[in-house]
Amino acid sequence: MVSLKTKELPGYAESRRDGTLRGIETSPMTIVRVSGKTVALAGSFPGFSQAAIKAQLSALGARVVGSVSGKTDLLFVGGDGGAKQRKAESLGVPIHQKAALFALLEGGAAEPAAPPEPADVAGPADVAEPAGAAAPGGAAASEFAGLTIAVTGKFVTMKRDDVSKLLSEAGAKVGGSVGKKTDLLIYGEKAGSKLSKARTLGVRTMTEAEFIAGLSRSSVESELLEGASDKVAAAEAAERKKLAPVRKTIDAVLAKQRARWGATLGELLLKYIHVLGQRPDVFVYDTRIGAPLSKAGLLAYHKGAPKEWLALASEVNSLEFNWVLAAKKGERHESSKGYNGGRCELVGLPAPGYICWHRIPEWRKEYDDYEAEASFDDFVAEGRTVFSYDPGQRPEQARLVFDDANDCERHELGSLEDYFTDGARAGFVWYWQVGSGGEFRQALLDSSIARDTSPATIVRLLEGKGLTPAEARAMVKWLGDDVVILLHGSETPEGRDRVKLASVFSGYGQASERDMDHALIRSLTEAADPVDAQEWAAICAGHAAFLASGGAGGSWTPLSASGLPLCIYQGGEATEGEQAAFRLKNLDGRDASGVDLSWADLSGASFTGAKFTGASLAHSMAIDALMDGCDFTGANLTGADLSGTTLRGACFRGADLTDVDMEAADLTGADFTGATLTGARFPGAVLDEVVYDD
């Protein structure tokens, strides 16, 4: 609202002397004398509160009254003067349009001078209305025009039906419910399910004060708006006074969060849900965002709940959020909510009068010694997060605990801020509170943008998801490097390449914890004498006899001995021959085309530039071997383990790599054209410049 400051208006000194409101213009002006007069106001005067107008009229010597009677000297009308205007007309009270007031309030022109009486009496206005007077279709110009709007709650200034009527006059389409096509929800006190649904769907919301201000900026005119701003302001002032102690506590918590991240925890949590749900590999379901805790609730729990919880409840009290990997969408009802994905369900502080804190039951005192607890995150029946306080403590001192009924343990979780920060970084995956669900989090990270994506790029991508620049920067501060969990790899060119690779090479992008001493392996193989043709032939012959007499079908146990690979073979019923063991041997350039080396030990061996065309290495152990430039065209490597092996420039054209393990293998420039990759694993593998079938 704009406050009248007549001393700053041109011509104020002259008009003040004779007690008139005068528009300053070079053309003849109508002078409306108000000094000593009884004046009434009717209708609305966009941009100005009636309280401010009344104050200035009183300063000019007028007596401003709220109704029209035979003692009223004149009436100022803004638009439709309603009953007041009709009564003034019946009593012959002079009526003046709002243009004269606008001239003083906004520096525009007053009503032009005209024949004394007729021109000064209300009739069809021939004075230009302020900007935004009319919208297409006869609706008043306003920011609400063309919007689909829902209304809920109890309003201070008018009935809900009146709100709907004014919105219709402003060009809005007023609906009875909130849905995906709803543009705006205007809410008053005690807003219920509509507000919750609007927050869940991300529909913009507006308070009564914002609604009144919006109408005041429009050309909508109604008696309902007369003094509405003042009523809302008075109600807000009374509310602020009543809530002052609890708001002081809450605002102190929220201020620290804003200083730390640039946004509050509640704001970040809602934006997190909004953005994560936009990933193409995530399916969000059964999600709802409840309304903030009522003012009565805030007052009731000011001394009955931890201040962190109270601050969160002032923004987000109850909430349920469930997601699964899109590939598991069809299976979501076969398991508990949160499995194959993640989950969060904030129970919220109950309404005053309902039980919040539950004392420890007698049967549990044998195992635990807490005083009472309140449910906070109702994760699953067997595991939930609670606020708990001990004997001698107060509810405000309660701390977060994960109560795991599966192992009858209670896990301390730290602060509420840490709880949501850790949970968000983990994707709120299945049992994240105790370190479980890593496979679901990893599935997200595997197809996310790269961790080394610049913060500026991440902010830009988050803006594309509907966040403001400030919200995007706050999200980066909150989640750190883990902010990538919100953004699918397809968001960047590099990410699209990674996602494409991951779709072909299973597990690509996942971390590997393999830790072998490759420098030592290389030095030992280089120092070893090359295996000559005679030794090669003997080993191959012995291995053929080993396989022929039932040596295949055993199991391998890979070990690490001082950074060197050591593979133990158990099983098999060979009665002849000897299993081939090339561990740490030098076979560079060896031609092994067509040779059957299935179930052989090639661990740590150097086969640089060797040919395995048409050979069989099925179920062999070739971990941490040196095989750069090897040719495996048409070879059978089913079930082989090549973890940690260097295979730069290797050729696997037409090879069968079913169930092969290439964890942490260096496959730079390798060719997989026509290869069978069913069940093959590539976590931690290097796949730069690889060639493969699209």
Domain ranges, residue 207: 136-230
Q: What are phi and psi of 555, to 5 degrees?
A: -135, 150
pLDDT in tens, 156-186: 999 999 999 999 988 899 988 999 899 999 9
The angle subtended at Cα 48 by Cα 149 and Cα 87, nearest 5°, is 90
Q: Are residues 342 and 325 part of one domain?
A: yes
Tell me how far CA of residue 312 lies from CA of 22, 187, 205, 319, in angstroms. Answer: 53, 20, 19, 11
- How many domains is the chain partitioned into structurally? 5
Using the 3D structure, point to which of 456, 477, 504 is the last residue of a domain: 504
**CATH number, domain with residue 302:** 3.40.1580
Q: Are residues 689 and 557 part of one domain?
A: yes
What is the residue type of 675? A
Q: Are residues 520 and 406 part of one domain?
A: no
- pLDDT for 102 equals 56
Q: Are residues 357 and 404 part of one domain?
A: yes
How many CA atoms within 13 Å lie on the side-chain side of 383?
A: 17
Q: Are residues 678 and 602 part of one domain?
A: yes
What is the residue type of 479? L
Residue 33 maps to a domain: yes
Give CA–CA dist 648/397, Å, rounded. Answer: 59
Sheet with 63-65: strands ordered across:
63-65, 38-43, 74-78, 95-97
**CATH number, domain with residue 202:** 3.40.50.10190
Query: Which stretch of DSSP H or E encloses residue 379?
Result: strand 372-380
Q: Are residues 569 and 490 part of one domain?
A: no
Using the 3D structure, point to which of 61, 92, 120 is the last residue of a domain: 120
Instruction: Give the count of beta carbons closer than 10 Å to the beta carbon of residue 397.
Output: 11
Tell me how far CA of residue 550 lies from CA of 327, 599, 638, in angstroms. Answer: 42, 11, 18
Residue 461 maps to a domain: yes
Q: Are residues 225 and 153 part of one domain?
A: yes
Give CA–CA dist 638/640, Å, rounded. Answer: 6
DSSP calls for 121-176 = S--S--SPPPSS---GGGPPP-TTTT-EEEEESB-SSS-HHHHHHHHHHTT-EEES
**Residue given tokens 């050729």 in the structure block:** 651
**CATH number, domain with residue 625:** 2.160.20
CA distance between the termini of the chain: 62
Q: What are phi and psi of 240, to 5 degrees?
A: -60, -40
Give CA–CA dist 133/131, Å, rounded. Answer: 6
- pLDDT for 214 equals 87
At 256, list the tokens: 């620290």
Q: Are residues 338 and 324 part of one domain?
A: yes
Residue 300 maps to a domain: yes
pLDDT in tens, 648-667: 999 999 999 999 999 999 99
- pLDDT for 90 equals 81
Query: Which stretch of DSSP H or E encloses residue 410?
Result: strand 409-414
Residue 242 maps to a domain: no
Residue 428 maps to a domain: yes
Using the 3D structure, point to which of 504, 528, 552 is the last residue of a domain: 504
At 112, list the tokens: 């032009």
- The answer to whether the Cα torsion of 626, 631, 633, 634 is positive or negative is negative
Residue 276 maps to a domain: no
Give CA–CA dist 119/138, Å, rounded. Answer: 27
**Residue given tokens 């343990």 in the structure block:** 409
- pLDDT for 64 equals 83
- pLDDT for 652 equals 98
Query: Which stretch of DSSP H or E encloses residue 93?
Result: none
Among residues 570, 601, 595, which one has the least CA distance to residue 583? 601
Q: Are residues 361 and 418 part of one domain?
A: yes
Q: Are residues 486 and 341 part of one domain?
A: no
- pLDDT for 162 equals 92
Residue 251 maps to a domain: no
Residue 500 maps to a domain: yes
Whether the CB-CB separation of 547 and 597 falls below 8 Å is answered with no
| Regions of the chain with pLDDT less than 70 | 1-31, 46-49, 51, 99-141
Q: Are residues 491 and 513 part of one domain?
A: no
Whether the CB-CB separation of 486 and 426 falls below 8 Å is answered with no
Q: Are residues 432 and 451 part of one domain?
A: no
Q: What are phi and psi of 14, to 5 degrees?
A: -65, -45
